[in-house]
Chain A
């Protein structure tokens, strides 16, 4: 609970910072704040204190367990990495930095809510906090039409999804008479589910499919990723995606464990389409951000397999997957933003000849790309392994084989970037990332290797 309050406090502090004129110090202060938040979250590990504000019990609203603490710590860590990039990214835009920082902090607040909600109302609130923040950030380049378009598109489509979610929640309420997770679970486990309940669940699923950009609800994501400022894209493709999956998993595993079998076919079809179409379309793309968008779609498909395997407790597999995906994602942006900046080009061809121009940077991108493609010994391999393993344990052979075929296709477009770096001739423009970009990129590459080789601690968290 205190983590959440502290997080809101940091967000408010950003707004005050504008008044007391400490813009330059703002991001370093926030980084320290996030560090405190991170440590603070970890100290609550295993305590499961009933949440309360000034003595009022919040038990029916929000509950903290190891699942939510682990995901919260991850989200705080990822946010800190993104803020490190933001220091240099927003150097030229000092005037707005406080707004951006506070919005990003509020996104994190929404994420923390989404990892620990115990009530459908909180779920809705969390999703709206995250989504509205992201609508603003997507459109934050006020004088760039592409950014405007991205924000507008995201908002229109997102509003629809929120509508579905509300409708679904209302129907589930109609069937069960409650917003509280455990009471819904009681109904769902009781058997004899009413059509109203199932319809409500399906509507909620659609909302989540939209939020995690699963096919056929993915159309917004490539446009939004491409139009948004690169840093926002980094934030969106990592933090927001893992947040939505955390919330999705929490919802289905806690509220609807007895009803998953009812929607299994839907999950199967959506996961299959998401992996396959995401991968196939990614192959044809030339814009780097669009490739990442489609690759993000296909990764959503793999994570949906973890959702399908909820009955055999796939939380550790999902957690590991989100970590490896998010860290590799942030790392790729940390390395790619300087490339975009110096080359003034956001296509794959911007990477041409990087292997000769800046071998170290190319090497880091190679590691991160290999991890994304799921090649051992990097974290991405074990991530896929864990998900497949859970699927096989639950006898989901068909979807596993589809996923394997897709992993093979995936290699093709990740390697497009690697090929551009090592086989194309360089032009004269030098790419020199600043220290902070280097730090984040190197840290991510190292993490991808370390957690790929020593996953024990992370995997132990969930059991």
Chain B
């Protein structure tokens, strides 16, 4: 079962590439929907206490095993990934895409790597999937991206690769510190007492930089806004919706439990960095003139809050960050689709030259509004639950940190509502006079997102129940007694 879950995207990618450009998008959608159904089956069976586990010796020296397992946390991330990928593919319908078969095959290839990251329970296997995820999205952004894509994507690639390589060094060091000499997560979890606090202190940085660049935490965020702006919408969605979560997930799965002493030493500092990033990115977001860049910086603020929640080492903080990871993933895909719809109709994402779209495209207006409200954490929406839990977690950790982190809600409301006002309300302008309302596929994607926003907002218990055991296990490891 778990192998099927991993390899279906890869098989689908091959199929998409083989059927050619005309059918590519449809086959990709079918493949990804099938994957989504399978994920639901896994989710339902998991609730019946079924264990998903696969173990196969892979490389003998050094000992690397093909060890996959799904616990509640992994399944939550899989649900997010496999829910978003069909939407991302569907959002690519009705758009002219050159060489569509490669485009959709790369998206599915990306899904393969992401699923691998969330399932891998062997350090090096995990690392391989982590790096593998970079390649498809790089090529999507490079080949189908905007005018400045060459420079921007190379910066993105080198920046993130740089971080990852330090993580590789970290893993190698752990391997040699491990008396059993393997990368298996079960053995790595036992290392916390073997590795001395001094060593954990620098290992923390080897891992943290890799994650901080991907998340991105200020000041490691400089690749992000440019990349989001230049990449084609589907790549931006993959990056912001799922790939960032890869790093926040990794903080929980790999950093906290393996290096508790390191986290004890540097965790407060990291949390401070996250909180600083929240405020900083929100202020930058207020000054943005371009829709995609605004969403990019708002994303930095949101993931800063998620990471801050993780470093509180409290149950409510970690649970909040999981909820918010899923919520942010869904919302940000919605936001970027809206930006893409506007770009598609008006050929511009410049906020100043937009306005009055509400009067010409009411359907679009309603759904856009729902997504915007969710991302400023209005009660009843999914954003509220996550941010509330996160702020509560940070509050129990340190009241001042919570005060500053709380600014994200106020500042978020400022830039999002102002953006909405300037683009959608008011008088129509030259560029928005003619604005075709939603096409069927856009309607479907935004509609589904809106429904999920409310479902998660009203009944987050599904996620909390799913992830509670894994989070308890992680915190049990991560908190030094």
Contacts and interface: CB of A to CB of B under 8 A. Distances in A.
Given A389-B175, A419-B150, A404 B128 contact: no
Contact of A423 (B131, B149, B161, B176): B149
Interface stretch (A23-31, A164-172, A370-378): A370-378
B59 A455 contact: yes
Interface in A350-377: 355, 370, 375-377
B59 A411 contact: no
A412 B128 contact: no
Contacts, number: 73
Interface string B155-167: 0011001100110
A415 B157 contact: yes
Contacts of B60: 456, 459-460
A193 interface: no
A404 B166 contact: yes
Interface string A388-431: 11001100000011001101100110010001001100000000
B154 A392 contact: no
Given A412-B158, A423-B142, A459-B61, A385 B168 contact: yes
Contacts of A400: 169, 172
A453 B175 CA distance: 20
A456 B166 CA distance: 25
A401 B176 contact: no
A455 to B, nearest CB: 6
A47 interface: no
A218 to B, nearest CB: 25
B222 to A, nearest CB: 16
A384 to B, nearest CB: 9
B410 interface: no
Given A377-B128, A388-B169, A408-B165, A419 B142 contact: yes
Interface residues of A, number: 30
Contacts of A463: 61
B157 A411 contact: yes
A425 to B, nearest CB: 13
Interface string A330-357: 0000000000000000000000000100
A316 interface: yes
Contact of B128 (A370, A376, A388, A456): A376
A377 B58 CA distance: 13
Contacts of A316: 61
B127 interface: yes
B20 to A, nearest CB: 13
A225 B59 CA distance: 36
Contacts of B158: 408, 411-412
Contact of A415 (B59, B124, B134, B154): B154
A385 B149 CA distance: 30
B451 interface: no
B59 A459 contact: yes
B154 A412 contact: yes
Interface in A262-302: none
B139 interface: yes
A83 to B, nearest CB: 32
A24 B127 CA distance: 50
A393 B60 CA distance: 17
A381 interface: yes
Contact of B176 (A370, A392, A411, A455): A392
B135 A388 contact: no
B448 interface: no
B173 interface: yes
A388 B164 CA distance: 14
Contacts of B59: 455-456, 459
Chain B contact surface mostly: helix
B456 to A, nearest CB: 34
Contacts of A408: 158, 161-162, 165
Nearest to B61: A459
Of the candidates B60, B150, B169, the one having the most CB atoms from chain A within 10 angstroms of its own CB is: B169
B334 to A, nearest CB: 30
Contacts of A370: 135
Contacts of B176: 389, 392-393
Contacts of A377: 128, 132
B143 A389 contact: no
A425 B175 CA distance: 46
B362 interface: no
B142 A422 contact: yes
A392 B143 CA distance: 38
B62 interface: yes
Contacts of B162: 405, 408
A404 B163 CA distance: 10
A395 B448 CA distance: 54
Contact of A422 (B62, B124, B139): B139
Contacts of B149: 423
Nearest to B139: A422
A321 to B, nearest CB: 15
B168 A388 contact: yes
A405 B175 CA distance: 21
Given A376-B131, A389-B175, A411-B161, A423 B150 contact: yes
Contacts of A392: 169, 172-173, 175-176
Contacts of A376: 127-128, 131-132
B172 A404 contact: no
Nearest to A395: B176
A175 to B, nearest CB: 36
Of the candidates A376, A392, A408, the one having the most CB atoms from chain B within 10 angstroms of its own CB is: A376
Contact of B172 (A388, A455, A456): A388
Contacts of A419: 142, 150, 154
Nearest to B177: A392
B168 to A, nearest CB: 7
A281 B335 CA distance: 43
Nearest to B151: A419
A353 to B, nearest CB: 12
Interface in A217-271: none
B173 to A, nearest CB: 6
A388 B165 CA distance: 11
Given A375-B161, A376-B132, A460-B60, 9 more contacts: A370-B135, A386-B62, A388-B168, A405-B162, A407-B161, A408-B158, A408-B162, A423-B150, A456-B58
11 contacts: A316-B61, A376-B128, A381-B131, A389-B62, A389-B176, A392-B172, A404-B168, A407-B165, A408-B161, A456-B58, A456-B60
Interface of B: 58-62, 124, 127-128, 131-132, 134-135, 139, 142-143, 149-150, 154, 157-158, 161-162, 165-166, 168-169, 172-173, 175-176
Top 7 nearest A-B pairs by Cβ distance? A376-B128, A408-B162, A404-B165, A376-B131, A392-B172, A389-B172, A456-B60
Interface of A: 316, 355, 370, 375-377, 381, 385-386, 388-389, 392-393, 400-401, 404-405, 407-408, 411-412, 415, 419, 422-423, 455-456, 459-460, 463
